[in-house]
Amino acid sequence: SIGVVEGNEDDRLSKLPDDLLLNIVERLDIADAARTTILSRRWKDVLARLSKVVIRADSFESKHTTSKLKKEDIVQSNTTVLDATRSILERRAGSLHTIQLLCMQFYLGDESIFIGQTVANSIATQKVASVDFTILTKVRRNCTKDELLTNGRQFMSFFDSCPNTFGCLARLTLENLRLGESAFPKNFSICKQLEFLFLHNCDMGIQSLLEVEHPQLSELVIASGCFKRVHLKWAPKLTILKFSIFRSKDDPFCLGYVPLLQTVSIINTALSWHKMLKLSELLGKTAISILHLNFRSEKIWVKPEGRRQLLPVFHKLRIVNLLNIPEECDLTWTMFLLQGAPNLKELRIVVRDHLCLVEQRKKGAFSEEKDKGLEWEPSASDFKHHNLAGLSIYGRFQAEDKLVSYARSIMQAAVNLEDIKLYKSPVCQRCKHMRPEWTLERSHRLATKSKRGCPRRSGFTS
């Protein structure tokens, strides 16, 4: 809120230094930022000095908009975005300040070509340095094959109409597209400045292969889609790879030349036919520092391996998050990560089930044995880990003894452990009324049982 100082014409915000004032306005979407221009004479020219401008279609939409839009809704939304873009850029006609990053969200449609051309003209006159496009589709979820193909053709028409715009993109988010085999190589060759790419439900057909070669790409996110495999052949600046929901029976991706890769995140709801992945083979010759694995309360799809196999890829690993492990699973198998990652500092584990999905599971090809194939034996009974400092466990266990036994195993192995934190795992709204609460008294009781018989060197937070 803006407080007006009595006796002064200007409000308190207007007395802030220019750089701080601009920093505040740059955090607003364009609709709110535009409203600030009426506050005072000093604010009148704020839009002409912003280094970051955000124009989003959902800023102009009703909060009650459904997931299925009509064609006239798309036209109206894109027209509003186009008008806002032109208005902002016209205000900066004589400005000496370049927009360093123009973030735009709009719908794929006939009008998107005009949006792209407007941005291209601004880039040509050096009003815009780089661009972030998030391109939405009319149907957001559960697209049919025909809808995917139609979206793909429409996107490539847009792409071919505005190559200069796409050539300056720094970030690109796409959804619900099925493209031809030559489309992605063409896109990568033109989008030479691209640093971030998010593909949601995009592919080149069922069981297609995506090959990625890009000199600037630093973050790649693949969510859903029907790729058989994504091959990162050459991405010398890639640091973050996120892979969510894969349908392949084989390894979902393979890594070529990615020397800077630091963070890998894999999310999957494993069905009975999914293979168990060997991380030593999947991660190849990389040496990552952060690993996130999300099992979505279904079958564990990681195969425990020995220290010798894992050490080449895990010798720099510092942080591991194991999320949504099914409650029926024992946690002993996770110890293979400690043995393979001698420099691990933080381990976070979330254990929970989704009771609300019981009926849905009966209709799908889910595995009845969520812990099948997790047999693991430590390489040495007296194994010690010297670098693990923090362990956080979020759980709603079917049996308390699993938590107690696991916590004791970690405390005995991690000789320099500083802190163990025990939390109640979050519950989705649909599960909320289907299970008893984990009381504070029960949490304290578990903490006491876990510490009993273990060295008194670790703090235990519950």
Asked whether the beta carbons of 92 and 118 are under 8 A apart, the reply is no
Map residue 48 onto helix, strand or coil. helix
- DSSP letters for 332-345: GGGHHHHHH-TT--
Q: For the segment 65-94, what is each residue's pLDDT rounded down to a tens digit?
A: 555 678 888 999 999 999 988 888 887 777
**Rounded Cα–Cα distance for residues 211 and 220 (Å):** 12
Sheet architecture: strand order including 253-257: 208-213, 227-234, 253-257
Q: For tokens 């889910």, what's the residue?
A: 366
Q: How many residues does the chain have?
A: 462
Q: Is the pLDDT of residue 5 over 80?
A: no
Distances (CA, A) of 200 to 17, 285, 345: 41, 27, 32
**pLDDT of the residue at 37:** 65
Range in 53-57, 60-64, 255-259, 270-274 the model is least confident about: 60-64
Mean pLDDT, residues 147-162: 96
Q: For the segment 260-306, what is each residue's pLDDT rounded down to a tens digit?
A: 999 999 999 888 778 899 999 999 999 999 999 999 988 999 999 99
Return the DSSP state at 123.
Answer: H
Q: For the segment 371-393, what is each residue's pLDDT rounded down to a tens digit?
A: 777 877 776 678 999 999 999 99
Range in 50-54, 124-128, 163-167 the model is least confident about: 124-128
**pLDDT of the residue at 358:** 58
Asked whether the beta carbons of 302 and 276 are under 8 A apart, the reply is yes
Q: Is the pLDDT of residue 18 over 80?
A: no
**pLDDT of the residue at 151:** 96
Q: How confident is the model at residue 397 (pLDDT cuts 50, 70, 90)?
A: low
Q: Is the pLDDT of residue 64 over 50?
A: no
Asked whether the beta carbons of 393 and 422 are under 8 A apart, the reply is yes
**pLDDT of the residue at 344:** 98
Q: How confident is the model at residue 154 (pLDDT cuts 50, 70, 90)?
A: very high
Range in 115-119, 143-147, 231-235, 450-454 the model is least confident about: 450-454
Q: Is the pLDDT of residue 329 over 60?
A: yes
Asked whether the beta carbons of 454 and 414 are under 8 A apart, the reply is no
Query: Within 13 A of 374's CA, how many CA atoms are on the CB side?
Result: 19
Mean pLDDT, residues 443-457: 58
Mean pLDDT, residues 210-228: 94
**pLDDT of the residue at 260:** 98
**pLDDT of the residue at 429:** 64
Start-to-end CA span in the chain (Å) = 38
Task: Sketch the domain layout of the chain as residue ranges.
Answer: 14-50, 279-366+381-427
423, burial (CB in 10 Å: exposed 0-12, middle 13-18, buried 19+): middle
3, burial (CB in 10 Å: exposed 0-12, middle 13-18, buried 19+): exposed
Of residues 367 and 339, more confidently modeled: 339
Q: What are phi and psi of 274, to 5 degrees?
A: -70, 135
Q: How confident is the model at residue 225 (pLDDT cuts 50, 70, 90)?
A: confident
Mean pLDDT, residues 141-159: 95
